[in-house]
Amino acid sequence: MFRAVFRLSTSGARRLARTRPCYSAPLASRCYSHGKVETDEEFDSRWVTYFSKPDIDAWELRKGMNTLIGYDLVPEPKILDSALRACRRLNDLASAIRILEAVRDKAGPHKDIYPYLIQELKPTLTELGISTPEELGIDKL
């Protein structure tokens, strides 16, 4: 009982002492209190636009995906759709399938996210002829 009190008091004090990370924003970066915080929709549309560049090159695709994977979020279906179409423009099937593997890994222990994403992306996957890792049998070790 005392340990519970002790834990609550120390965790409360600690949360005041440590600089607060922005739990609301997925971006692990700036926590300025004066600047405008980007909304989720602005974030999503910024990334959709990034991958929608008609003459995107392979480096920009890789850079974009690596940056996106670094955030504390699983990308929205519309961002992934835009990224998969960029792979199509670059004739890069390998990266397209790798993107699917990456988002599955990003979801971590939350096993409901990946099936939802595949459900949402199914039309795009069929249109572009992208197989999922599960269909190829490369999802198991």
User: What 8-state DSSP symbol labels residue 37?
Assistant: P
90 binds another protein (CB under 8 A): no
11 binds another protein (CB under 8 A): yes
Which member of 1, 3, 30, 141 binds another protein (CB under 8 A)?
Answer: 3
Least Å from the CB of residue 70 to another protein = 11
108 binds another protein (CB under 8 A): yes
In the complex with another protein, which residue's Cβ is closer, 21 or 58? 21
What 73-76 contacts at long range (C-beta under 8 Å, 24+ apart), as own/partner pairs, is 73/26, 74/103, 74/106, 74/107, 74/113, 74/117, 75/47, 75/103, 75/106, 76/44
Q: Which residues bind another protein (CB under 8 A)?
A: 3, 6-7, 10-11, 14-15, 21, 23-26, 40, 72-76, 107-108, 110, 112-113, 115-116, 119
